Structure 1
C-alpha cells in the first residue's frame, strides 16, 4: 500500500481507546474519512476535493477555525470512562491502567491537533503529482487542478481563544495543554478539572430543560440562561435569605431542604431561583427545569445525575395540579423518597401562585357526608393528601404582593440601578398610575414600568 505523510494521523485516530467516542464528532469523523481516502489506490481528484471540503465545512462551524482548539474542547468535555470516574463523587482514585490508556489517547490526539492545512494539502498533492508518485502513468496533473489543490482553504494551527471568550478555568486548562510539550503530561490537570467541574454537558452548560421527543426524555442545554442577578432583585430580602441559606448548605454538602416558593404573581419567585443559579454556578451548581407534564420522568432524571460532582436544583415553575392529574404522585414520591429516591446532590425548588398545589372542590368536602354510592368512601383521606403536598417541601417561603410603600421602594431601587434621572415625586406619580392601568402592584409591574420609563426618557 502506498504510504503518505498523512498516515500517522490516521493511525492516531484509529488507535483511540478511552476517547474513541470522539470519532463520532462531525469534525473528526470527516477528517478521518479524508485521511482514509488518501490511502485508497484508485483515488480521483474530485473525490478528495469533496472529502476535504466536507471536513472543512464542519471545522468552519467551530470558533477560531482551529483544529487544535476544537480537539481540546472535545477532550475537556468528553464523557467517557476516564472523565466520568474522575468526576464521580465516590471514586477517589482512578485505576492506573485506565489512566495509562487515557494518556496514550492524549498523545495520539495531540499528533492530530498539530496537523495543519499546508501539510494536508502536501499529502494530497503527493497522490497526484507525478514527481512523487511511485510510478508515472500518463501526463502530470492538469495545471488548473493543481491550482485548485493549492487553493484549498486552511485553518489556524494552535490559537488560544481570548480569555474574554470563555470562562477563566477553561481558558487556563487549554493554555496548559497548548504550552505542554506532551499532552499526556496534562493528565493531572485534566483529572482535577473533571473533579471540580464534572464532565460532559454538565461541564459545558449550567442550565438545562428536560424535554421529550417521540416518547424519549432528554436534557437540552440552555444556550443563554436568564442573566438576572441577586443584586437586581430589589426588596424581599428576608424571603430570599431563607432560600440562599438553604442553597449554601446544599453546596457545602450539609443537609438541605426542598423549597416551595409560593405567593402572588409577579413577586419575583422564579427570578429568585434563576438568580441563585447565576450566583453559584461557579461553585458547581446546575439547574434543570422540569415542566409539570414531565414530572413522571423524575426517576430517569435522578439516574442521570447520580454520582455527579455537581449539585443540581430541579426547578418546577408555576406548579399546580388539576383534580384528575396523577403527576403530583410522582412529585410526592421524590419529595418523600421512594425505592429510587433522589441523592444528596439533588434538591427540588418549585414556584406556585397557590399554597395548596392540588385543586380541591366543594363537592369533595360534601363527599365526606354524602350517601351517594359513586362518592369515595374515604373522601377525607384524599382531601388531606391533596392539602399535604406543599407540606412535603421542607421550606415554604411566601412572596406577597407589596403594599404601596414597598412597591414604590422597588421602583426606586430599579430606577437607581438603571441610573435614571427623574424627580422622585414624578417617579412615584408615574409608577402608581402605571400600576392602576396595568397589572396592579408587584415587583414585575415595577420592572415593567421602569423598562417603559427608561425608553421614554431616552426618546425624549
Structure 2
C-alpha cells in the first residue's frame, strides 16, 4: 500500500503542527537540542491535552520566551535552524546513503525519508509570526510580543510548490560531500579516551602563512591529497627542532582541505593507549581523517608504544584506507635510549640485546614518511619574518626590521618560525598602540 505524501501547506493550527512534528519517522533528532526542545515545549503548551484543558497564560508566555531566547543566542532564523539540523542529522537514512546508492536502500527507508522531508517542509513554512499569533490567542495577553526575525541564509532547492521529498537527490549529494552528525558540524576533534569532542574554533593558520620549509610542505600536501582521492597514503613523522612549524603545518591542512572531506583528530600522547579504539570508530565514516599526535616520545616499557605500533603496522584487521597518522617529535627515534641500554660483551644481559636496541631505534621507520625540519638559519628566519610582517602590514624599513628581528631572536628563543611569529605579533601590538 502506497501512502500519499503530504502536500506542503501551512499548518492551520498549533495542534496540526504538533502532529506533524510528532509524525517524523527518521528525523526526530532535528529537535534534540535546546532550540528544538524549547520549540516542542511551546507546541505542547499550545496543544494541551484534552479539549477542556486550557494552558495557563504565563506557561505559554514563558515557553515562548525560552524558544525566542535560544534563537537569539544562536543568532539565526528559525528556518535556517531547521535546514542546518536537516543537513546534519545522523539517522539510518543519512548514514547509509553515504556509502550505498540510493536505489539500493530499502524502499521503506526511501519512503520514510521523503515522508519526513515533506513534514519538515511544513514546519519550515510555518513562520515565527504565525506561532506568535497562536501564543497571543492562547495566553490572551495584552503584552505586545515580538517575533524573532533575521534574514534567512539557507534554502532547500525546491522549485515552485515542489515537495522537498521529490528532491531527495540533493540531500544525498550533500550527505556524501559534507557528512552527518558531528563530522558535518566540525572539521577538527579531540579524542578523550573513548569520545570524540568537536573543536568549535580551530587554529586559523593556512598553508600560505607558512614559509621556509617548502619541500616538507609539498610532500605532506601530496600525501594528504592521495588520502583524499582514495590512493595509498602513508603515516608521517614530522621530526625537527622546536618552533619550526611542524604542528602548524598539520593544522593548516584541515583549513586547506576541510571542504573536501578532510577531518583532523588530535590525540594527546597520554590517550594513545586507546588509539585502536579510535581507528575502529573512524573506519566507519566516509570522510578522511588525520590522527594528529603532537610532541610524540616514549619511555622504556611504555604501553602506549604498543598501541601505536599496532595501528602503524596493523594486525588481523585491515588498516582503514581513510585514516593516516601524522605525528610530530623533537626526537628522531621517539624512544628514549641511554648508553646503559647498549650491551657489552662481558655483561650477562639478554643474549640478543642488540635486537632490542634496534627495535627501539627503528620504531620511527614504521612511519612511511619522515619529514625533517632543521633549525632555521638566519636567512630562513628573516625570510619568515619578512613574510609575516608583509601580511601584517608592519610599517618598518627592511633594515630596521632585520635589525630588530635579530635582536629579538638573540634575547628570546633563538631563530625559528615560532620566534618569528612572536616577534611580528609584538610589532602588531606596538604599531597598534602608537597609531593615532
TM-score (norm 2): 0.88
Q: Who is 2:408 aligned against?
A: 434
* Bigger mean CA offset, 191-200 vs 333-342: 333-342
Displacement of 1:366: 4.1
* Bigger mean CA offset, 262-271 vs 296-305: 296-305
- Judged with a 3 Å threshold, the aligned counterparts in structure 2 of structure 1 residues 454 and 159 are, in CA distance, closer, same or farther, namely closer
Residue 160 (structure 1) aligned to one of 152, 160, 163: 152
Contact in 1 for aligned 2:132/2:146 (Cα 8 Å): no
- Judged with a 3 Å threshold, the aligned counterparts in structure 2 of structure 1 residues 252 and 369 are, in CA distance, closer, same or farther, namely farther
* Bigger mean CA offset, 325-334 vs 340-349: 340-349
1:45 equivalenced with 2:42 (yes/no): no
Contact in 2 for aligned 1:180/1:186 (Cα 8 Å): no
> In structure 2, how many angstroms separate the alpha carbons of the residues matched to 1:459 and 1:33?
51
> In structure 1, how many angstroms separate the alpha carbons of the residues matched to 2:314 and 2:102?
25
> In structure 2, how many angstroms separate the alpha carbons of the residues matched to 1:39 and 1:343?
51
Displacement of 1:107: 1.0
- Judged with a 3 Å threshold, the aligned counterparts in structure 2 of structure 1 residues 90 and 309 are, in CA distance, closer, same or farther, namely farther
Cα shift readout 1:139-172 (whole Å, capped 9, x = no counterpart) = xxxxxx5314xx344223x8422xxxxxxxxx4x
Displacement of 1:78: 0.3
- Gapped runs of 5+ residues in structure 2? 1-11
Q: Who is 1:394 aligned against?
A: 368
The Cα RMSD (Å) is 2.5
> In structure 2, how many angstroms separate the alpha carbons of the residues matched to 1:233 and 1:175?
38
Residue 113 (structure 1) aligned to one of 124, 132, 145: 124
1:408 equivalenced with 2:361 (yes/no): no
> In structure 2, how many angstroms separate the alpha carbons of the residues matched to 1:179 and 1:231?
44
Cα shift readout 1:88-128 (whole Å, capped 9, x = no counterpart) = 27888433321110110011112122233443344445557
Contact in 2 for aligned 1:116/1:155 (Cα 8 Å): no
Q: Who is 2:78 aligned against?
A: 67
Q: Who is 1:146 aligned against?
A: 141
Displacement of 1:179: 7.0
Contact in 2 for aligned 1:420/1:454 (Cα 8 Å): yes
- Count of residue pairs the alignment pairs up: 419
Residue 183 (structure 2) aligned to one of 172, 178, 202: 202
Q: Who is 1:277 aligned against?
A: 254
Q: Who is 2:215 aligned against?
A: 238
Displacement of 1:367: 7.4
> In structure 1, how many angstroms separate the alpha carbons of the residues matched to 2:212 and 2:383?
8
Displacement of 1:69: 1.4
- Gapped runs of 5+ residues in structure 1? 129-144, 162-170
- Judged with a 3 Å threshold, the aligned counterparts in structure 2 of structure 1 residues 415 and 228 are, in CA distance, closer, same or farther, namely same
TM-score (norm 1): 0.84
- Judged with a 3 Å threshold, the aligned counterparts in structure 2 of structure 1 residues 16 and 430 are, in CA distance, closer, same or farther, namely same
> In structure 2, how many angstroms separate the alpha carbons of the residues matched to 1:308 and 1:90?
16
> In structure 2, how many angstroms separate the alpha carbons of the residues matched to 1:386 and 1:224?
38
> In structure 2, how many angstroms separate the alpha carbons of the residues matched to 1:121 and 1:418?
49
Displacement of 1:83: 0.8
> In structure 2, how many angstroms separate the alpha carbons of the residues matched to 1:437 and 1:219?
41
